[in-house]
Amino acid sequence: MFRYTPDNLSEGRPVVIALHGCTQDAVGYGTNSGWIELADRWGFTVVLPQQESANNANGCFNWFEQADTDRDTGEAASVAQMRQRAIDDAAADPQRVYVSGLSAGGAMTATMLATYPEQYAGGGIVAGLPYRCASTLPDAFTCMNPGKDQTPQQWGDLVRAASAHEGARPTVSLWHGDADTTVAPANMRESVEQWTDVHGTDTTPDVEDTVAGYPHAEYHDGSGRAVVETVTIPGMNHGQPVDPGTGEQQCGQAADYMLDVDVCAAYQMGTTWGLAAQGR
């Protein structure tokens, strides 16, 4: 567990858990994604879990292993413990905790949203996969590309079986490049089916517009609240969108799998979650 807490952070602030992708490390991902600079700007704690090579030689979170994706076991339990430690140490607001990740970290984000839904207000899955798409390593490669086609109810049932939770569910933000050759873009479609079904809505967008010029869609629940959103980046391969610079909406640094496409996913997610509106 790595953690970044800005100086003089007051009590009752939010927490963001940021999960790196394969071959990445916690600090590099936190810096390059923009989450650390946004923590300074807006005032929140960033929790940065880091995979160990003893657990996965490529540094991937084991999103395809049942022992790591069940509630109260393995890696999912470790991340849940890190969340609680951060809340306790910073006297943070447990109602304003968010989780986001890239690729394997995106798939583990789906795991946390499924297994501990009561712990998160929202999640951001970047170039990730649906929860429980795979249960073995060979199956994981099939999920990644070309992907699996299941019904919304089949996907939703996998999430509902992950915990006994019956209350409100965290909102889900999905980001994917339509030229992703590592995790096929079909996975975003299947993730939309999974999370809209969990929220009790359909797969027809209620809003279609743009975010920073890129196609954006929202799926609303019965009260009109956006519970799932997608942002598609045309021409982008596998990675997380960043927008280096000093402008208000800019954040992140270009690196391997951190792609400068003139939009910072972390900024956009943080804005949607109300982190910018809260002030420092």
Annotated active-site positions, please?
A: 103
Query: In this structure, are residues 20 and 28 in contact, taking their beta carbons and an 8 Å threshold?
Result: yes
Cα–Cα distance between 201 and 205 in angstroms, integer? 10
Instruction: State which amino acid sits at residue 99.
Output: V
> Burial, 68: exposed, middle or buried (Cβ in 10 Å; 0-12, 13-18, 19+)?
buried
